[in-house]
Structure 1
Amino acid sequence: MAIIDVIKFNGIQNRDWLIYRYPGDNFSTGTQLIVNEGQVAVFVKGGRALDYFSPGTYTLNTNNIPILKSFINIPFGGRTPFTAEVFFINTTAKLDILWGTTDPISLIDPKYTVRLRVRAFGQFAMKIIDYRVFLTELIGAVGDGQVVKYDIVTRYFRGVIAAKIKTIIADIIINQRISVLEITPRLEDISNEAMRRISGEFHRFGIDIINFYISSVNFPDEDFAVINRILGEKAAFDIIGDNRYNIKRSFDVMETAAGNEGGGSIASAGIGLGLGAGAGIAVGNTFAAAAGSVVNTPPKTISCNKCGTANPEGTKFCPNCGEKVSIIKIECFSCKSPVDDSAKFCPNCGSSMQKKACPNCNVESSPGVKFCPECGTKLEG
């Protein structure tokens, strides 16, 4: 095989290359080496990265390849032939490497107590800083005349990033009890923490992380719809209060009845499907009666089982003797029916109303919760 007189690599247009193995290994002292900007040339022999050259033009001699010379005993003087592999490494920073969690992080939101499937996305920038370490770790992946592109290397690191990000986000949401809806202001802090944790993995391969960003943390629309429903119900109670909420529900029932009769709204209750003005007046009177019954009905009382004292409805303990007089109602997580707080099962649907103890941290969770809100451990059904 002929001895090569000039070694150079002009690069490729899209600059996505990371390593290029020069197609030839027969050289001699006196061979010209040309290294372009954004490159470094490394001589390899026997799988070991030896001498390397920064951008410039060189005439190879025993002075500028001292490690290679001692490794293969190149004699002084003349055009001495020798064999070695030459690799060009891209030293420019790659700024637009995207990453994302392919599998969602399944956890319980600590504020809304609903299961969410959280995903995270972002980008990072990397640069090769230790050529010998980097090339030694990846030399087995380089074939004859082959260009190794960034995606071959970043494919591995995306898996590392996803694993680290999942751990960090789960720790913040579960252990620090921060809702997913309130995590956006902390993305910069999370990004910095993630960069700190993953940098060591990159340094093992001679790579430096220049920057690391989490651009978004989100979850599917159907999960968000559940939270929106909870927020809507809370807003209703905040605006109209517990007592007026009963009035609202009465009108909701009447509107549903009107919709069934005449086509959809309270207004249509009297005129839909030809019911006429008389029916409209009748339904209007019904509304007035329903509202009046809620507003004007005198408060109900509950007699104490022990001393017989009449107590207002909702009283928990008799002020005369201290006996428990009312039964506290809680909502069934499954069918939403009111259930006595002492009941073990819902009388409407049969679902268990007993709290679950986490087998990992012993924290008790409400019925129906599938994952521990404290540590994220899956709870038994």
Structure 2
Amino acid sequence: MAQTVEVIKYEGDNSTFIWKHPCEDFNSLTQLIVHESQEAIFFMNGQALDLFGAGRYTLETQNIPKIGKFLHRETGDTTPFHCEVYFINKTEQMSIKWGTDSKVQYIEPTYGFPISVGASGEMSLHAEDSRKLLLKVVGTEDSLTQQKLTTLFRAFLMTRVKTYIAQVIKANAISIFEIDEHLSEFSEALHKLLIPDFADYGVSLERFFVTNVVKPDGDRQYEKFKELYFRQYADIAEAKLRQQTDLIYAQTEAQKMIIDSQAQATKRAQEGYTYQQERGFDVAHDVAQNEAVGQFTNMGVGLGTMAGIGGAVGGLVGNAVTGALNSAAQPVASDVTPPAEEHFCENCGAKLVPGAAFCDECGTPVPVDNTKCANCGYVFERPGKFCPKCGTKRGL
């Protein structure tokens, strides 16, 4: 006797893709309930008939056109009929594990040596075409779970994945030593290649992730190239560090020179002497180191040079040396004109052009010394317009 069923529905776990309702014989007044995340397919006499989306249905001939034709022809729509109903879960099935069953052989694109790697990760699937999935994968099975689907897909998935891994690494020239840095791009490339393969079975590959690449650690050839790779980048890092250190040192030295120069200028201003006078101190110190007066002449140090030291210090040292020379030896007449006195800017210390009114480095006005000639250093004995010794025009 036929079994009468009032309600047909599925409220099982979410890890199942397809589930067949156990009742097969029910009359035309049976209620079918399909939830929002489901679809239902009716089979009669081994043929897939109507596909139902979410909703509540009464199995009457006017509501089920294809089934109605069978009922009208075979049973007169008065007796129960034999059928099968399958529920298809349309939710996205996530965190499905995958992994290569053996190593992938390929030629490492950077160094050109053969290498073997493995890979693993996760994926998420979605039943896209219920009728195709049911007919091509489920057949007469009662259910299709995540575990069963991955088992059925394992052979085809491994064949495709291993082929695509070698292709993607070669096409993008991904170094085995840098592959972990490119897992995101690597996953996206494999995902795009695998989508059509899954679609052929009515399944949508929503996401595909490569979370781990197993490298051939311990292999002698691999370890050799790994050592060369890290040594190369260590040398580059060391060179960059050395360059940065030299740059910092140069900047520090430059800053130190600037600070020292500023400190010296401040010191001169506080103690009341100029760069030219400081240079005079240095020359006087060098002169004092000579024990014999006769060495002054051999060294080319004359009264004109001492007189050109500058300021009060230059005059004082010049007079002292002149007295020492007069007491130590008779003056020797000479027609050689002493070299012109050198003058330096009191602000920046630059050498001044003879007769210049301003420093050509910083533009500071040059003080006019009316007591002696700016060219030869002759000390004037009386007022006049020109130097009586070299004829240079005197300052006003």
TM-score under structure 1 length normalisation: 0.54
Aligned residue for 1:156?
152
Once the two structures are overlaid, the 10-residue window that deviates more, 202-211 or 105-114, is 105-114
Deviations 1:90-116 (A, max 9, x none): 111101112111111123323345443
Aligned residue for 2:183, secondary structure, equals: helix
Aligned residue for 2:183?
187
Q: Which has the higher contact order (CA 8 A, sep 6+)?
A: 1
CA distance in 1, matches of 2:233, 2:29: 82
Once the two structures are overlaid, the 10-residue window that deviates more, 80-89 or 190-199, is 190-199
Q: Is the 8 A contact 1:74 1:80 kept in 2?
A: no
CA distance in 2, matches of 1:208, 1:240: 50
Aligned residue for 1:49, secondary structure, equals: strand
Aligned residue for 1:42?
41
Change (3 A) 1:203 1:46: farther
Counterpart of 2:227 (choices 229, 251, 254) is 229
Pairwise CA distance, 1:240: 10
Bigger radius of gyration, 1 or 2? 2
Deviations 1:142-183 (A, max 9, x none): 1xxx33312222223343333233223323444654311223
Pairwise CA distance, 1:84: 0.9
Aligned residue for 1:221, secondary structure, equals: coil
CA distance in 1, matches of 2:177, 2:157: 22
Aligned residue for 2:257?
none
CA distance in 1, matches of 2:41, 2:149: 19
Aligned residue for 2:52?
53
Q: Is the 8 A contact 1:47 1:139 kept in 2?
A: no
Pairwise CA distance, 1:50: 0.9
CA distance in 2, matches of 1:76, 1:47: 17
Aligned residue for 1:192, secondary structure, equals: helix
Pairwise CA distance, 1:236: 8.1
Aligned residue for 2:8?
8
Aligned residue for 2:324?
none
Change (3 A) 1:40 1:74: farther
Change (3 A) 1:216 1:82: same
Question: Match of 2:183, as an amino acid?
Answer: L
Q: Is the 8 A contact 2:96 2:124 kept in 1?
A: yes
Pairwise CA distance, 1:134: 1.6
Aligned residue for 1:160, secondary structure, equals: helix
Aligned residue for 1:103?
102
Q: Is the 8 A contact 2:31 2:56 kept in 1?
A: yes
Change (3 A) 1:236 1:181: closer
Aligned residue for 2:65?
66
1:196 aligned onto 2:192: yes
Aligned residue for 2:336?
none
Question: Match of 1:197, as an amino acid?
Answer: L
Name the Cα RMSD after superposition. Answer: 3.0
CA distance in 2, matches of 1:213, 1:226: 30
CA distance in 2, matches of 1:235, 1:51: 65
Aligned residue for 1:311?
none
Q: Of Structure 1 and Structure 2, which has the larger fraction of its residues in strand?
A: 1
Change (3 A) 1:111 1:2: same
1:293-372 correspondence runs (5 A): none
Q: Is the 8 A contact 1:74 1:82 kept in 2?
A: no
CA distance in 1, matches of 2:235, 2:37: 64
Q: Is the 8 A contact 1:42 1:49 kept in 2?
A: yes
Change (3 A) 1:175 1:28: closer
CA distance in 2, matches of 1:77, 1:66: 14
Pairwise CA distance, 1:54: 2.2
Aligned residue for 1:181, secondary structure, equals: coil
Aligned residue for 2:207?
211
Counterpart of 2:167 (choices 171, 175, 195) is 171
Structure 1 alignment gaps of length 5 or more: 242-381
How many percent of aligned residue pairs carry the same amino acid?
A: 31
TM-score under structure 2 length normalisation: 0.52
Deviations 1:261-281 (A, max 9, x none): xxxxxxxxxxxxxxxxxxxxx
CA distance in 2, matches of 1:43, 1:79: 19
Pairwise CA distance, 1:30: 0.9
Q: Is the 8 A contact 1:6 1:34 kept in 2?
A: no
